[in-house]
Copies of this chain bind each other. A is one copy, B any other.
Amino acid sequence: MFKVRVLNEEVIKQVIDMKQVVGAIEEVYRLKSNEKTEVFDMVFHEFERGVADMDIKSGHLKGEDIFGLKVVSWFKDNEDKKLPMLIGTTMVFDSKTGMPIGMLNAEYITGMRTGAAGAIGAKYLARENSADLLMVGAGHQATFQIAATLISMQNIKNVRIYDPIDSNNAKKLAESMKELLKDKFLSKYENTDLYDEISKKFNVNFEGVDDLEKAVKISDVIITATPSRKPLIKKEWVKKGTHFSCVGSDMNGKQEIDENILACARVYVDDMNQALDVGEIEIGIKNKTISKEDIICEIGDVIVGKEKGRLSEDDITVYDTTGIALQDLMTSKIVLDAAKEKNLGVVVDL
């Protein structure tokens, strides 16, 4: 009989905090660079093309003695049934014994770890004095990306939000951003030394914009998190020294920025194989605008100091993050540990 802790979204939201998640995802990248991780083959199945699919991503964090998997399904018709279209479940196992340790709702953790990934790209690759952040995409991911990036960077002053589908989304999100950041993220740090530091970092200008070209031209850091299948950002718009974290492309055919930007940038990825297959770089590689050899390295190699990030203030840098199961496992583990300490969740005998 095994004791398995089951955590739903409500409990996860209580114990998770973004600064810790950023640290955890950095640690995943570090372990990956040091060959303390293994990514297993992905299982993908379409129940009906364009209507319903599921995938199982799994892997092993040797450095943390856990392995596990995340099952994510997407059912388009769930909207009519008042159910979420995306449903995810993560299972964590002890890699010293094989024993199951936890089962977790994967949705909120996916949002958090994806936000952290985009921010880590900016932290290690953007200019340190970056002041202007542009968020492209005002969907579910935007708040996570903005929170994580503000926490991870030191000098952001302006956050502009652009939405390719409806500029009203961007305006509304910008208006409510201060409150969202306070409720969802800052509240975690009440009565801690971090509160003032993070409160100050969140105290910047937020603006919804509808002219993407104009916004790109004055941005130091650009994060893209859209479902786009054609480039939204043209090469001519991009100023010297800009950093991109491309978060949206995680599937064949997705693309958010002009592949010619990649050709003149220093390009980094989270996982080489997955990025080549389904990342932002996929299209550029396929139409030979860039080659695999042009990719500098995985971001973990920069974090541990094996490879260099930007070489000058003028470099354009791109971080292509596709999301790997290891991020979910690591974040799930810190959430499980925190829940255990606070005696939260339900412990079942399996």
A residues near B, CB below 8 A? 1-2, 4, 6, 8-10, 38, 40-41, 43, 45, 47, 52, 54, 56, 58, 60, 67, 69, 71, 73-75, 78, 81, 83, 87, 89, 91, 93, 95-100, 103-105, 346, 348-350
Known: A69-B56, A91-B89. A348 touches B350 (CB 8 A): no
For A99, list chain B residues within 8 Å (CB): 83, 87
Contact of A75 among B40, B43, B74, B97 (CB under 8 A): B97
For A105, list chain B residues within 8 Å (CB): 2, 350
Contact of A98 among B56, B73, B95, B346 (CB under 8 A): B73
For A87, list chain B residues within 8 Å (CB): 2, 97-100
Contact of A350 among B6, B38, B95 (CB under 8 A): B6
For A91, list chain B residues within 8 Å (CB): 71, 89, 91
- 3 smallest CB-CB distances across A and B, nearest first, come from A73-B98, A87-B98, A6-B348
Q: Are the C-beta atoms of B349 and A348 separated by less than 8 Å?
A: no
Q: A1-B10, A47-B67, A89-B350 are in contact. List 7 more A-B contacts (CB 8 A).
A: A4-B6, A8-B348, A38-B45, A54-B67, A87-B97, A91-B91, A103-B350
Contact of A1 among B8, B81, B97 (CB under 8 A): B8
Known: A8-B350, A348-B6. A97 touches B83 (CB 8 A): yes
How many copies of this kind of chain does the complex include?
A: 2
Q: Are the C-beta atoms of B8 and A52 separated by less than 8 Å?
A: no
Q: Are the C-beta atoms of A56 and B54 separated by less than 8 Å?
A: no
Q: How far is the CA of A348 from the CA of B345 in the complex (A)?
A: 9
Q: How far is the CA of A117 from the CA of B24 in the complex (A)?
A: 45
Known: A69-B71, A97-B81, A99-B87. A8 touches B45 (CB 8 A): no
For A1, list chain B residues within 8 Å (CB): 8-10
A87 nearest CB neighbor, chain B only: B98
For A52, list chain B residues within 8 Å (CB): 98
Q: Are the C-beta atoms of B40 and A45 separated by less than 8 Å?
A: yes
Smallest CB–CB gap between A62 and chain B, Å?
A: 8
Q: Are the C-beta atoms of B69 and A98 separated by less than 8 Å?
A: no
Q: How far is the CA of A52 from the CA of B96 in the complex (A)?
A: 9
Contact of A349 among B8, B40, B58, B75 (CB under 8 A): B8
- The residue among A9, A67, A97 with the most chain B CB atoms within 10 A of its own CB is A97
For A104, list chain B residues within 8 Å (CB): 350
Contact of A78 among B40, B98, B346 (CB under 8 A): B98
7 A–B pairs (Cβ distance < 8 Å), ordered by A = A2-B105, A43-B58, A47-B67, A52-B98, A87-B100, A89-B100, A346-B348
Q: How far is the CA of A67 from the CA of B54 in the complex (A)?
A: 10
Q: Are the C-beta atoms of A56 and B83 separated by less than 8 Å?
A: no
Smallest CB–CB gap between A55 and chain B, Å?
A: 10
For A58, list chain B residues within 8 Å (CB): 43, 56
Contact of A71 among B54, B78, B93 (CB under 8 A): B93
For A74, list chain B residues within 8 Å (CB): 98
Q: Are the C-beta atoms of B6 and A6 separated by less than 8 Å?
A: yes
Q: How far is the CA of A349 from the CA of B8 in the complex (A)?
A: 6
A55 nearest CB neighbor, chain B only: B40
Known: A56-B58, A67-B54. A78 touches B97 (CB 8 A): yes
